[in-house]
């Protein structure tokens, strides 16, 4: 995370603060009755904390993304085993296509 891609110009993130905020976020989600799956950190892909970019999740199917930035393409390998365990069907975006979860706007149900 500290070495992640950023164009915001806000300086280096405060790692300890980010870890506390992450724990607080997990606790808030669990307090709402949600089951939270915490994946291990992947130091090779510091932007992999943004798991919403690696897949689009729908009822019964996960669409594994293919990020536009070459430096992020390996992130999908780290989340794929978890998705296989949670979803019956995994679809994959293949080259030359690119997709990040943040590119998708879901509407309706």
Let me know: does 76 contact 83? Beta carbons within 8 Å: no
> Is pLDDT above 80 for 3?
no
C-alpha span between 30 and 16 (Å, rounded): 21
Q: Which two tokens stand for residue 89?
A: 């069907």
Confirm if 62 and 90 have CB atoms less than 8 A apart. yes
Quick one: average pLDDT of 73-101?
92
Higher pLDDT, 108 or 87: 87
What's this model's pTM, rounded to 2 decimal places? 0.75
pLDDT tens column, 21-78:
999 999 999 999 999 999 888 888 877 777 888 999 988 899 999 999 898 898 899 8
Mean pLDDT of 89-93: 94
81 CB contacts (<8 Å, ≥6 apart)?
Answer: none
Q: How do the domains of the chain map onto residue ranges?
A: 1-36, 44-103
Q: Examine the pLDDT at 90 and tell me if it is beyond 90.
A: yes
């Amino acid at each position: 995370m500290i070495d992640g891609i950023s164009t915001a110009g806000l300086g280096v993130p405060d790692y300890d603060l980010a870890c506390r905020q992450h724990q607080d976020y997990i606790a808030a989600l669990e307090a709402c009755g949600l089951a939270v799956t915490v994946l291990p950190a992947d130091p090779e892909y510091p932007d992999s904390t943004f798991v919403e970019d690696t897949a689009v999740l729908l009822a019964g199917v996960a669409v594994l993304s293919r990020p536009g930035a070459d430096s992020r393409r390996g992130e999908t390998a780290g989340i794929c085993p978890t998705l296989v365990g949670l979803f019956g069907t995994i679809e994959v975006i293949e080259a030359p296509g690119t997709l990040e979860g943040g590119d998708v706007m879901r509407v309706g149900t």
